[in-house]
Amino acid sequence: MGATVGPVQREISKPCVIRYAHLDSAPYPHEMAPMAKNNSYEGSGPSQRQLRVGEVMRRALSDTLMRGELHDPDLANVSVTVGEVRMSNDLRHATVFVMPLGGGDVQRVIKALARNQSSLRRAIAKHMTIKFSPELRFRPDESYDQMDETRRLLDLAEVRRDLGDEAESE
């Protein structure tokens, strides 16, 4: 049996069936379990990409603040520590945890950083190769307070006694 396609005549044989072994045993799409959500605030935690982008962004923000590229009177002569940057799943929002060195007026520094968000986003875009420069949300970094509380709890006599008993039993 032949078919004419333009000036060339080709032989048409049986239709070609391509089988994929891994798809033959898969259930129909409506029988499959829903895909797991990969939200940075629930489940197993942030993805490697979120962590990597957050760390690069933390370094870029730290460098920008250290060099004093922002010209704001509330940020003049204030050293700001960027403790952590948490990225959203789509990498369009970043929560930046900051603390002024020495624990000064945290709210004043956060308001000043929020006012200068556009300048910080431009500085981040220069340091990073990313499709979108994320929207920045500034929050006080409470990890230092949590570390102090943990140290205080570990220094309690009851805890030291319990830890000493465990160390002797091992």
- Distance between CA atoms of residues 66 and 59, nearest Å: 10
Q: Which domain holds residue 66?
A: 48-153
The whole-number pLDDT of residue 40 equals: 44
Q: Specify if 143 maps to a domain.
A: yes
Q: Specify if 57 maps to a domain.
A: yes
Q: Specify if 14 maps to a domain.
A: no
Q: Specify if 170 maps to a domain.
A: no
Q: Specify if 144 maps to a domain.
A: yes
Q: Specify if 131 maps to a domain.
A: yes
pLDDT tens digits for 8-37? 555 555 555 544 445 445 455 555 555 555
What is the pTM (predicted TM-score) of this model? 0.63
CATH of the domain at 67: 3.30.300.20
Q: Specify if 124 maps to a domain.
A: yes
- Distance between CA atoms of residues 139 and 156, nearest Å: 31
Q: Specify if 13 maps to a domain.
A: no
The whole-number pLDDT of residue 60 equals: 92
The whole-number pLDDT of residue 161 equals: 81
The whole-number pLDDT of residue 133 equals: 87
The whole-number pLDDT of residue 150 equals: 84
Residues of the chain below pLDDT 50: 18-21, 23-24, 26, 39-40, 167, 169-170
Total domains, the chain: 1
